[in-house]
Chain A
């Protein structure tokens, strides 16, 4: 099992804030909108240095999505910022009609996704957002794993023409992605080569998959670990290549089973290469209040759960 050294832990939302600030300097068409959550989205630096390109919308997310769609008419590249819950479910019809169906170049940037939002509880812990967004035709859906990757993704989506959903979060997690690693939309990142099982993880579960890989190595299981940061378009080629080699698959994500990364990969395998698959994800449940670590443990989204899923799926492999 490869080692993944890191010098510090950081929150992915700060990677977004840093990327947005850099875009402010390098791309004059980038504008930002926020629904009363500048500090939470780490947009402070952009607001301070580019006030004429920042729009404080207040607690009015539906209006924010419409404004963003309008700003593209005139060549702007709007980045909207609020919590994942208010970036998707609350404004689904606005995104559907004014952004996705209208083909507008809006970047929907969503923080505090999933259980790791913690103590605020289920009202704010959206676990359906990937599914909601990936169902929209032509919507690109990205869920990076750490600070450096979130920053790189933020820079990359500015150069991508079309609507994008960029999902990140609040907790501090190991920042192991090399700072100079290019972010390629739709391309998985091979983290560890292995032969016994393929683990496809996204977002905060990527680090958990690495931890699981070490535990598995101690048991003599050689796991291939791939970071699928782009859920749509899915890197079908890389996923199928790995699955054909290892003959069994585990998916891991901070999301509902329905509609998430596991659901996309299950569809792909069912069509192209039916193989045993286990999903590490929330099973048809809302979250609750608690610390992020407590919640990830209770809802089965940690390295222990991944190890258990690997053992289960390997037992299902045809001999």
Chain B
């Protein structure tokens, strides 16, 4: 597989151990709770739950060049965040992998910042290739970017993350029908299956049901994994890379816990879009102690 070989061989920090990734993830979680606390707004729950995935992609899996940032990303693996509200984890991982200064995380959601509440290209923040926030659009965008790579003879891979509640948007299923039909086999999509959305459990609200069966019926290769354990997640991504290039896109259903890593936030939809207060921040940071913490 051209895709997987390229990614594994040339990812800038491919040699990172799981222990090192764990350290980075804890630092990222510190960033997340501090960012949302500072402006008393933002979305910590999904951000904490997807930390392992974004750290894995940016620090282990993807071949990418943070500096200078190239919008077209020719020859690079690309990542798209469709559920844009988990911008805190995206911004932290981008900053910590070298796209922009870590100190800029302090501007999150503030006036005149490049770190908008939801990711945007408008302020030219390096690492962001599309605005997201209004849900359901990222799978289409990622599929288009993957098809551009094919036209360009570019062997790299396009990754995209969606929320599970987001799958209630109809456009997702338009794209889900399109990508296998057009043999977009340089595309690996992830669903953050934390089972929660703003108004409660996804199965009570949207009735998502058997997602594996649904995506398989649409023609995807579907893998399932624990999204909060680096070993299993990395093994699944590697398996997924091995399935690319065979005429079929790959969908990874990733079981996560919303708020993972901060005990009082874990598993509850109540922390979807609520920031911790001073006391809760102190408790969270105590649980997220990391050797040589480099808080912004």
Contact (A74, B122) CB under 8 Å given A60-B174, A98-B131:
no
Contact A70 B148 (CB under 8 A): yes
Contact B122 A70 (CB under 8 A): no
Within 8 A of B (CB), among A31-89: 31, 52-53, 55, 57-58, 60, 62-76, 78
Q: Which of B122, B137, B147, B174 contacts A55 (CB 8 A)?
A: B147
A-B contact count (CB 8 A): 116
Identity of the chain A residue whose Cβ is nearest the Cβ of B78 in the assembled complex? A73
Within 8 A of A (CB), among B99-143: 120-122, 129-134, 136-143
Cα–Cα distance between A53 and B171 once the two chains are bound (Å): 23
Contact (A103, B122) CB under 8 Å given A63-B174, A63-B178, A66-B171:
yes
Cα–Cα distance between A63 and B175 once the two chains are bound (Å): 6
Question: Chain A: interface secondary structure?
Answer: helix
Contact A74 B143 (CB under 8 A): no
Contact (A66, B151) CB under 8 Å given A60-B178, A73-B78, A102-B122:
no
Contact A97 B132 (CB under 8 A): yes
Contact B152 A74 (CB under 8 A): yes
Residues of B within 8 A of A76 (CB): 148, 151
**Chain A nearest CB, measured from B14 CB (Å):** 24
Residues of B within 8 A of A78 (CB): 144
Contact A67 B143 (CB under 8 A): yes
Within 8 A of A (CB), among B162-219: 170-171, 174-175, 177-178, 182
Residues of A within 8 A of B121 (CB): 101-103
Cα–Cα distance between A76 and B72 once the two chains are bound (Å): 9
Contact A74 B141 (CB under 8 A): no
Contact B73 A65 (CB under 8 A): no
Cα–Cα distance between A76 and B147 once the two chains are bound (Å): 10
Residues of B within 8 A of A98 (CB): 130-131, 137, 140-141
Contact B152 A75 (CB under 8 A): yes
Residues of A within 8 A of B182 (CB): 55
Cα–Cα distance between A64 and B148 once the two chains are bound (Å): 14
Residues of A within 8 A of B171 (CB): 60, 62-63, 66, 94
Residues of A within 8 A of B142 (CB): 70
Contact B149 A74 (CB under 8 A): yes
Judge whether B146 is part of the interface by a CB distance below 8 angstroms.
yes
Contact A74 B133 (CB under 8 A): no
Contact A66 B137 (CB under 8 A): yes
Contact B72 A67 (CB under 8 A): no
Identity of the chain A residue whose Cβ is nearest the Cβ of B84 in the assembled complex? A97
Contact A62 B174 (CB under 8 A): yes
**Chain A nearest CB, measured from B141 CB (Å):** 4
Identity of the chain B residue whose Cβ is nearest the Cβ of A59 in the assembled complex? B174
Contact B144 A67 (CB under 8 A): yes
Judge whether A184 is part of the interface by a CB distance below 8 angstroms.
no
Judge whether B8 is part of the interface by a CB distance below 8 angstroms.
no
- Interface-central residue, B129, B139, B149, B151, by most chain A CB under 10 Å: B151
Judge whether A273 is part of the interface by a CB distance below 8 angstroms.
no
Contact A75 B178 (CB under 8 A): no
Contact (A94, B152) CB under 8 Å given A62-B174, A66-B144, A70-B146:
no
The 7 A-B pairs of least Cβ separation, nearest first, read A70-B144, A66-B140, A74-B148, A63-B174, A67-B144, A60-B174, A70-B145
Query: Given known contacts A71-B144, A74-B152, what 11 new A-B pairs fall within 8 Å (CB)?
Result: A63-B175, A66-B138, A66-B171, A70-B142, A70-B143, A73-B144, A73-B148, A74-B154, A97-B131, A98-B141, A102-B131
What are 30 sample pairs from A and B whose C-beta atoms fall under 8 A apart?
A58-B178, A60-B174, A60-B177, A62-B174, A63-B140, A63-B143, A63-B175, A64-B140, A66-B137, A66-B143, A66-B144, A69-B141, A70-B144, A71-B145, A72-B144, A72-B148, A73-B141, A73-B148, A74-B74, A74-B145, A75-B152, A94-B137, A94-B171, A97-B131, A98-B130, A98-B131, A98-B137, A98-B141, A101-B131, A103-B121
